[in-house]
Chain A
Amino acid sequence: MKKVLVILMLAVIGYSLGTSFSTIKFGENRIGDPKEEKNVAAYYLNRTPDELSVANVITAIVVNYRGFDTLGEVSVLFLAATGLGSILYRRRKKGEHPEVITKPASQLLQSGSKLIYPAILVLGAYVFIHGHLTPGGGFQGGAIIATGLLLMMMAYKDFEIRHNVLTWVESIAGITFVSLGLTGLIYGKTFLENFLPTGNINDVVSGGIIPIIYIAVGFKVAAELAGVLETLLSNKEND
Chain B
Amino acid sequence: MIFSLIILIVLVLLLLAAAIYAVMQKDLLYATIATGVISLILSILFFIMQAPDVALTEAAIGIALTTIIFVFAIRHTSRREDEILIHEESEAQTLDNKENM
Q: A residues engaging B (CB < 8 A)?
A: 56, 58, 127, 135-137, 139-140, 143-144, 146-147, 150, 225, 228-229, 232-233, 235, 237
Contacts and interface: CB of A to CB of B under 8 A. Distances in A.
B53 A136 contact: yes
B24 to A, nearest CB: 14
A150 to B, nearest CB: 7
Interface string B52-73: 1100110011001100110011
Nearest to B58: A140
B53 A143 contact: no
B44 to A, nearest CB: 15
A233 B75 CA distance: 10
B60 A137 contact: no
Given A237-B75, A237-B76, A140 B65 contact: no
Nearest to B54: A58
Given A135-B56, A143-B57, A143-B61, 11 more contacts: A135-B52, A136-B56, A140-B53, A140-B56, A143-B64, A144-B60, A146-B65, A147-B64, A150-B64, A150-B68, A232-B69
12 contacts: A135-B52, A135-B53, A136-B56, A139-B57, A140-B56, A143-B57, A143-B60, A146-B65, A150-B64, A228-B69, A229-B65, A229-B69
A58 B50 CA distance: 12
A31 to B, nearest CB: 14
A126 to B, nearest CB: 12
Q: What does DSSP make chain B's interface, helix, strand, loop or mixed? A: helix
A25 to B, nearest CB: 15
Interface residues of B, number: 14
Contact of A232 (B53, B60, B64, B72): B72
Contacts of A135: 52-53, 56
B64 A137 contact: no
Contacts of A233: 72
A179 B65 CA distance: 30
Nearest to A235: B76
A140 B61 CA distance: 8
Given A237-B75, A237-B76, A229 B68 contact: yes
Contacts of A127: 56
Interface string B12-55: 00000000000000000000000000000000000000001100
Contacts of A237: 75-76
Contacts of A140: 53, 56-57, 60
A108 to B, nearest CB: 19
Contact of B60 (A147, A228, A235): A147
Nearest to B59: A140
A140 B46 CA distance: 15
A88 to B, nearest CB: 9
Contact of A147 (B52, B65, B72, B75): B65
Contacts of B52: 135
Nearest to A88: B76
Contacts of A229: 65, 68-69
Nearest to A145: B60
A8 B56 CA distance: 37
